[in-house]
Structure 1
Amino acid sequence: MCGTIDLYYALTNKEEAKGILPNLRFVKETNRRDLHDYIMWHNINHLTKFLSKKYEDAYTPVLKVNNRENDNDLIWKKCLKMIPDFLQIPLSSLYLRYNIDPRDKIRVEEMADIIRDTYVKSFRQNAWMDEITKNNSIYKVHDMKFKIGYPQYILDPTEVDKDYEGKMEELPSHICYNQPSMGKRNRAYLFGAIGSIISYFISHSFNHPNREFKRNGVWESWLSNKSLEESFKELQNCYRDQYSKYWINDQQVDGIETIDANIADNSGIFMALQALKNRRDMNNVRYTSNSNITEDQLFFLAYAQARCSNETVTPPPTSPYKYRVNGVVSNLKEFSDAFSCSRGDPMNPPKKCTYWDF
C-alpha cells in the first residue's frame, strides 16, 4: 500500500485522508502522538540546513540511516546551491534575458499551432472515426492551452519583483532551457527535434488514461461508442505486437506496459512530419542545403539526435531509446523512402503500425 500512495500527502490532505487513512493498518495500530511527530518532522526536516553546526552534526546519524552523507561544503557553497530552490524566478529571469533569443519562443508557439492544425486535419480524414468522435477530437485539441518556454512577464524585472509581493497568480516551473538559437536551425531540424516532442504530448491526451476525458476535463471518453473502442484497441494491438518482438540485453521489451508511450512516440513523429509537409506546401519554399542531406533525412536525423542516450534498458512506461527511434521510424514510409530502405529490411518491415490517417 505504501508503495502506491504518497503517505505524507495522505496524512496532510484532509480529503485524501478521509479515503485512505482508515484503511491503513499501521494508522490504526500507531498512537496519535507518533503520527503527530511524523507529520511535524516532515514539515521541519527541510529546514535543518538553516541551523547551526551543532544541529547539523546532530543530524548526521539520521542521514547515515538513510544512506546519505552530510554536506560538508563551505557556507557560501551551500547558499549557492539554495538559490535555484528559493530564487527560482529571479534566477530564471536573469538566465533568459542573457541567454535566450525571444524569437525562439515565438517560433515554437507557431510550430505548436501548425501541429495542432495537423491533428485537426487528420481527425477529419480518419476512416475509423465516426463524426461524433471526430468532433470530440477536434474540440479537445482546440481547447488545449500551450505553455511554452516561459511566461512573458519573467523578462520584466518589475513584474518579477511583484512575484515576491504575492501579486502574481501563476508560478512557472522548469522554464529554463539550453538550446542553440533556433534561428540558426533549418525548419526540418526544428520539426524533427522539437515539433515531434510537442506532438508527442498532444498525442498523450488521446491515450490511456487521458482518453477517458473529453474537452475541458469532462470525464467521458472521446470515443463515441463500443465499436469505436474495439477499433481503437485493434490499432493499439499493432503496436503491442511490434514492440513485444524487441529485445535488448537479453531482456524483452514489454509491449503492453509501454504501449501508451509507444503510440505517443509514433504519433509524435508522424504528426510532426505531416506538419512539416503542410508548412512546406503552405509557403511553397524549396529546401536548400550545402550538404547532400535531403530535408526529410534532416528531419529524421534531428529526431534521432534529440533522443540520443547511453541508456540501454529503460523500464516501462517507455521503451528503450533504441526502439523509441528505430521502432518508430520503421513505421514510416517516408523514412524508408528518404534512406532507400528495401522492403523487408529491418527498418522497412512489410507491416507498419499507424494511428492516424493522411
Structure 2
Amino acid sequence: MGKPESPAGAAETRGRCRRRRPGFLEWGLLLLLLLLTGALAALSLLYAHSGAIQGPQEDEMCTSPGCVIAAARILRNMDPSKDPCEDFYQHACGGWLRRHVVPETSSRYSVFDILRDELEVVLKGALEHTAARDRPAVQKAKTLYRSCMNESIIEERDSQPLLETLGRVGGWPVAMDEWTDTVGRHWELERQLAAMNAQFNRRVLIDLFIWNDDQNSSRHIIYIDQPTLGMPSREHYFQEGSNQKVREAYLQFMVSVATMLRADMSLPRDHRRVQEDMAQVLRLETQLANATAPQEERHDVTTLYHRMPVTELQDRFSLKGFNWTLFIQSVLSSVKIELLPDEEVVVYGIPYLQKLESIIDVFSARTMQNYLVWRLVQDRISSLSQRFKDARAKYRKVLYGKTTEEVRWRECVSYVNSNMESAAGSLYVRKAFSRDSKDVVGELIDKVRAVFVETLDELSWMDEASKRKAQEKAMSMKVQIGYPDYILDERSKHLDKEYSNLDFSEHLYFENGLQNLKASAQRSLKKLRKKVDQNLWIIGAAVVNAFYSPNRNQIVFPAGILQPPFFSKDQPQALNFGGIGMVIGHEITHGFDDNGRNFDEEGNMLDWWSNFSAQHFQEQSECMVHQYGNYSWDLAEQQNVNGLSTLGENIADNGGVRQAYKAYLKWRAEGGRDQQLPGLDLTFDQVFFLNYAQVWCGSYRPEFAVQSIKTDVHSPLKYRVLGSLQNLAAFSDAFHCARGTPMHPRVRCRVW
C-alpha cells in the first residue's frame, strides 16, 4: 500500500454529524472527476476517430478516491497526441516527461525515484520521532541518523577522524613524508589487503567474499574474484571522448584530497610529488581495469566457477610470491575462523588472476599502498566535512551530471536504511504498510506463477523433459513478501541481536561509519562455517525494488514496492496486474534467464536442460540480443544498448509482462470483475499496458546516460517498454497496430 490510512478518530467525528457539507478532499475529487471527464471527452473523440482504442467493457465504474487518483495519474502521464503504434513509450509517458525535470541532485529521475523519495520522507519522520520506549535496534538507528545530521560537529572535526584511521592502516604515502622505501620493505600486501577486507569491507585488488556455494546451496564457501574499481566502468580507464574527461576529473579529485590532507598535517603541498604519486595510482588502476573481464563475458556462471583447494590456488597463481594462505587466514582471523588444511575456494576470476601477476611485479609498494588507501579514502568522503565533498564535486558532475549535493536529511536517511535495513524497515512498515497486503500479493504471485507453468506448453523450442524440470523449479520457488515478521515482533530479540555489537555516538559519525563497515564485513565472513539460512531476507523492507536469488531460488517483494502505481487494494486489477503483476512475472522469469537457468529448484548450479532445449534457448536469446543491440540511444552519444549484458533483464521484462497479462485475462475469464476508471474511455487491456509502461517513465542526464549504457544490466527505461511490447502480439491487438508499424514489427522475439 505504502500510504498511512486516515486516523480513526477523525472518521468517528465526521460520522456523528447528521448533515454535513462535502469536505475539501471530496470537493477536490468531484472537481477532478469533472475535469477528467471533459478532458477525456476530447481524448475519446481522437481515439474513436483513429480506431486505436475500443470502448470499455461492461464492469462497474469506480469513483473512489483511489480510482480517481489513478485515473488522473494515467491521464497526466500520457501524451495522447502520440500514436501508440508508433512510439508507445512517448504515448504513455510523454506527459510525465514534459512535467518532470531531473533535479540538480540527481542523475536520473523516474517513477521509481519518486517512490524512493516518498519512502525517505516516511523514514525521516520515523527517525526524527522521539519515543520513550524504542527498542534498542531502533534507538541505534535514530542515533546513527542524528550523528549524520550533526553537521556542525562533522565540520568541526574536519579531517581528524580520517587522519587517525590512516595511521591505523600504515599511512597514506602521498600524504606523508616518512613513508620511505625502508618502510616499504617491511610492507606485506597480503596483510594490507586482509585489513582492507575485514576491517573496512573494501575488497581491493582481490575480491574475497563468502557466499552460498553455487554447486551446493546449503553451505557457504570462499570466493575469489576480480575486484571493483574506483570508477564505475572499466571503459572509463582506456577509451577516449567523454571517458577522458572522467579520467581527468578522477585524477584531479585524488590530487585535491591528498593535497588537503598534507596541508592538514602541516606538510608542504609538494604538488609535483602528489601529482606523480596519484598519476602512478591511476596507471596501476588502469592496468587492473584492463585485466578485468568485461561484463558481457561473465554471464555464464558455469564457465566462471572453478573450485579448488587453497594449495592449488597457490600453485596456479603465485603472483610473484603472494602468500594466499596468509591472506585468507588474515581475513578469517578477524572473526576467529581457522583455515582448514583442505580448505576449498571458488575462483571466478581466473583470467584476471593470470594477468595480475605481471601488474604486481611492475608497481612499487608505495604505489600499491597509495592505491589501497585511496580506495578507503574515496569511500569515506561522504562522512567528512564539506570541503572534501567540494573536492569531489567536479568528478561527480562529469560522471553523473549532478551539480548539487543531495540535501543532508536524504543522505542520512538513505545511509541509515542501507546500513540498518531491518531496523529502518520496522519503522517504515509500522508507519506506511498495510499488513494484509501480504495476503493479496501472495494470491497475485500464485496466479502469475500458475500462468508461467501453463504457458510452457506453448514453447515449441523446449522438449517435454525440460518443461517438466522448469515446472518443478517454478513451483518450488520460495516467496518473501513485505517484511520478515520478526522486525515487528516486540517479544523477539532477533532484531536487537542483529545490531548488538554496534555502539553509536551522536558525536562520532565517521567512527559510526567505520563500525558499520566492519560489522558488514564480519557478518558476511562469519557465515563460512554456518549452514545457509533459507529464511534469511536478502534485502530490507524499505526498498522500492524486487529481487530473485538463483542460489536460493527465491523471489522477494519488499514493502517499499507494494504501493501505487505498482499495487493497491483500492485500485482496479488491471493496474495491479500491469504493475506488481509484471514485477512478479519479471522475478519468476529471472529463474530462467541466461544466468538463472543454470540453477535447479534447490538453488544448485546444475544443468537440467536437454541438449535440444539448451541449443534452442540460445537461439531464442540471440534474437533478443540482436533486437536490443539495435537500439541506438541518442542521449548516450548514439551508443547502442549492449544486447548481451542486458540479456537477463530483457528476458525477464519480456516474460514478466507476458505472464502478467495472461494472468489478468485468466482472472477475468474465471469471473473476476474489474472496475472502470472514471473518465478514461479505455479497455481494460489498454489500461493494463498503460500502467505497465508508466511504471518505467523517467529521464536521464546525458552524462549518466553515457555511463549507464556501459554499466547497467538493465536496458534504458524507454527500451524496456518498447522492446517488450514490440514482442507481444496482445499489445498490438489491444491498440489495433497494423503489421509493419514500429509497435507491430514483422519479426518478434520470445524466450518465455
Same fold (TM over 0.5): yes
Shift in Å, 1:91: 2.7
| Counterpart among 332, 335, 347 of residue 743 in structure 2 | 347
| Counterpart among 725, 729, 733 of residue 329 in structure 1 | 725
C-alpha separation between the residues in 2 aligned to 1:60 and 1:202?
Answer: 44
Shift in Å, 1:34: 9.4
Equivalent residues of 1:12, 1:39 under 8 A apart: no
With structure 1 as the length reference, what TM-score do the two structures score? 0.77
Shift in Å, 1:111: 1.3
Amino acid aligned to 2:437? D
| Counterpart among 235, 241, 249 of residue 626 in structure 2 | 241
**Closer, same or farther in 2 for the Cα pair 1:237/1:12, shift >3 Å?**
closer
Higher RCO structure, 1 or 2 (CA under 8 Å, sep 6+): 2
C-alpha separation between the residues in 2 aligned to 1:307 and 1:153?
Answer: 33
**Closer, same or farther in 2 for the Cα pair 1:134/1:294, shift >3 Å?**
same
SS in 1 for 2:739: coil
Equivalent residues of 1:196, 1:271 under 8 A apart: yes
C-alpha separation between the residues in 1 aligned to 2:364 and 2:585?
Answer: 51
Shift in Å, 1:94: 1.8
SS in 1 for 2:471: helix
SS in 1 for 2:685: helix
Mean CA deviation greater in 173-182 or 105-114: 173-182
C-alpha separation between the residues in 2 aligned to 1:140 and 1:328?
Answer: 24
Amino acid aligned to 1:175? A
**Closer, same or farther in 2 for the Cα pair 1:186/1:131, shift >3 Å?**
same
Where do 5+ consecutive residues of structure 2 fail to align? 1-201, 211-221, 226-309, 320-352, 397-407, 502-532, 543-559
Q: Does 1:134 align with 2:522?
A: no
With structure 2 as the length reference, what TM-score do the two structures score? 0.40
C-alpha separation between the residues in 1 aligned to 2:414 and 2:586?
Answer: 33
Q: Does 1:91 align with 2:477?
A: no
Amino acid aligned to 2:572? N
Q: Match of 2:96? A: none
Q: Match of 2:646? A: 258
Equivalent residues of 2:578, 2:661 under 8 A apart: yes
Q: Does 1:275 align with 2:680?
A: no
Q: Match of 2:674? A: 287
The one-character-per-residue Cα deviations of 1:121-168 (angstroms, maximum 9, x if unpaired) are 1224432222210111011112211222211222223333454459x9
Mean CA deviation greater in 27-36 or 272-281: 27-36
C-alpha separation between the residues in 1 aligned to 2:454 and 2:461?
Answer: 14
SS in 2 for 1:148: strand
Equivalent residues of 1:193, 1:305 under 8 A apart: no
Shift in Å, 1:267: 0.9
Q: Match of 1:72? A: none
Shift in Å, 1:46: 7.7
Q: Match of 1:143? A: 476
Equivalent residues of 2:585, 2:655 under 8 A apart: yes
The one-character-per-residue Cα deviations of 1:235-285 (angstroms, maximum 9, x if unpaired) are 223223332333221333333443332222111101111111222223x12
Q: Match of 2:46? A: none
C-alpha separation between the residues in 1 aligned to 2:698 and 2:536?
Answer: 34
Q: When the two structures are aligned, how many residues end up with a matched partner?
A: 339
| Counterpart among 177, 180, 185 of residue 571 in structure 2 | 185
Equivalent residues of 2:594, 2:647 under 8 A apart: no
C-alpha separation between the residues in 2 aligned to 1:76 and 1:231?
Answer: 51
SS in 2 for 1:310: strand
| Counterpart among 215, 218, 235 of residue 604 in structure 2 | 218
Q: Does 1:106 align with 2:439?
A: yes
| Counterpart among 449, 456, 460 of residue 123 in structure 1 | 456
**Closer, same or farther in 2 for the Cα pair 1:85/1:231, shift >3 Å?**
closer
C-alpha separation between the residues in 1 aligned to 2:649 and 2:409?
Answer: 43
Task: Identify the structure with the greater strand proportion.
Answer: 2
C-alpha separation between the residues in 2 aligned to 1:233 and 1:191?
Answer: 29
Equivalent residues of 1:11, 1:39 under 8 A apart: no
The one-character-per-residue Cα deviations of 1:303-344 (angstroms, maximum 9, x if unpaired) are 111111113745153322212112211222221121121222
Q: Which has the higher Rg, Structure 1 or Structure 2?
A: 2
RMSD, aligned α-carbons: 4.0
**Closer, same or farther in 2 for the Cα pair 1:94/1:278, shift >3 Å?**
same
Matches within 5 A, 1:193-208: 193-208=579-594
| Counterpart among 697, 700, 718 of residue 308 in structure 1 | 697
Q: Does 1:173 align with 2:539?
A: yes
C-alpha separation between the residues in 1 aligned to 2:719 and 2:209?
Answer: 41
Amino acid aligned to 1:228? S
**Closer, same or farther in 2 for the Cα pair 1:164/1:329, shift >3 Å?**
same
C-alpha separation between the residues in 1 aligned to 2:675 and 2:412?
Answer: 50
C-alpha separation between the residues in 2 aligned to 1:354 and 1:79?
Answer: 43
